[in-house]
Amino acid sequence: MSVKVLSPGLMTTIQDMGRPGYYHLGIPIGGAMDRMALRTANLLVGNDEGAAGLEAVFTGPELEFTGDAVVAVTGADLPPKLDGETMECWTSFAVKSGQVLSFDYLRSGARAYIAISGGIDTPPALGSRSTYAIGALGGVDGRALQADDVLPLGPSAGSAAGRSVPQDLRRTPGNPAELRVLPGLYWHRITEDSGQRFFDETWKVAGEADRMGYRFQGGTPLDFIGREPPFGAGSDPSNITDACYPYGSIQVPGGTEPIVLHRDAVSGGGYFMIGTVISADMDLIGQLQPNTPARFVRTDMHGALAARQDRARMLASVREVLAP
């Protein structure tokens, strides 16, 4: 049982929950940018939550099935079509052998997650099927899908079509999107006024927005507190002696355009960071299109952990709704 790629879409990659444990060598965790969406899609088709599915950016692929399967599409509002007939997002549907799955145009969001019963069964690399294209690791030969790729599927216990999750369990960013940030790391390098302005202003997602990181534009450049450059750092006030970068950390090269590192983050480098987007809001970033207005909202550790618990409760509800 397999799926043949008739056309790949703009950028469609195989993703699961990633490969922890190699960040110290510069190999990032990777995996679905919107993890909750992929988990939900998998549960809808009766897979393990962490099974490998497809992450389609802005446009969908065209896929031909060589056997019967159950499919669900979550995340971005990118309506699936089965032999031309529009199907519901966030709802499982049956696909017969020989049928073709394609997609309508993107209504909202940025990344759709396509789960197929049995899960995609390409060979894992370092414990994960996630595609890390920069390092040519995972996925199909370490790259995004291409026409004529054949994706093997795992065995499936089977699942019912027509299962769905209620609206309040489908998380999407607001407008402006609000990303909660724990200030820290090199926050002390900028003036208090500058830090306050960073939170007060509305930013916009820039064109450079991918699995490695999201760049934001439109706010005022940061004001640095003066210093003697540390040995090895470099002369720009935004330079540091090359260090590790947390996932979600916000670096501001030259003090101008903040970049939030995401699942395929570079593991380190020489730019200072002013804080970190909290774990509960990382999924939202994966659903932001270029030009989307966004606000950074200051929080503290207590707020970050409470938000994380909210997400855990939401996932528990999804599991309960979709329990076999």
Partner 1 sequence: MTSRYSFGGDEHIFVEVSEDMSLEAFFKSLSITNSVREAQIRGVTEICPANASFQIKFDPDVIHPDDLMTELKRIEETAEHAEAVLATRIIEIPVHYQDPWTNETLMRFRERHQDPESTDIEYAARINGFADVSEFIAAHSGSPWFVSMVGFVAGLPFLYQMVDRPRQIQVPKYLRPRTDTPKLTVGYGGCFSCIYSVRGAGGYQMFGITPMPIYDPAQKVSYLKDFMVFFKPGDIVKWKPISREEYDRDVADVEAGRFMPRMKDVVFSLEAFNRDIDGTNAKLLEALNVR
Site of interaction with partner 1 (CB under 8 A): 20-21, 23-27, 125, 132, 134-137, 142, 182, 184-185, 187, 230-236, 239-244, 246-249, 253, 266-270, 273, 275-280, 301, 304-305, 308, 312
Q: Which CB atom, from 161 or from 243, has the smaller least distance to partner 1?
A: 243
What is the rounded CA–CA span in Å between residue 236 and residue 213? 22
Q: Which CB atom, from 26 or from 166, has the smaller least distance to partner 1?
A: 26
Q: Which CB atom, from 64 or from 257, has the smaller least distance to partner 1?
A: 257
Question: Shortest Cβ distance from residue 52 to partner 1 (Å)?
Answer: 17
Contact 3, 12 (CB under 8 A): no
The number of CA neighbours under 13 Å toward the Cβ of 71 is 30
Question: Shortest Cβ distance from residue 181 to partner 1 (Å)?
Answer: 8
The four Cα atoms 139, 143, 145, 150 give a dihedral, to 10 degrees, of -50
Question: Shortest Cβ distance from residue 161 to partner 1 (Å)?
Answer: 34
Question: Shortest Cβ distance from residue 72 to partner 1 (Å)?
Answer: 27
Q: Which residues contact 15 (CB under 8 A, 6 or more apart)?
A: 30, 31, 32, 33, 38, 52, 53, 54, 55, 113, 129, 130, 131
Question: Shortest Cβ distance from residue 144 to partner 1 (Å)?
Answer: 15
Residue 214, Cα to own-chain centre: how many angstroms?
Answer: 11
Q: Which CB atom, from 146 or from 309, has the smaller least distance to partner 1?
A: 309
Q: Which CB atom, from 56 or from 304, has the smaller least distance to partner 1?
A: 304
Q: For residue 176, say if its preceding peptide bond is cis, omega within 30 degrees of 0.
A: yes
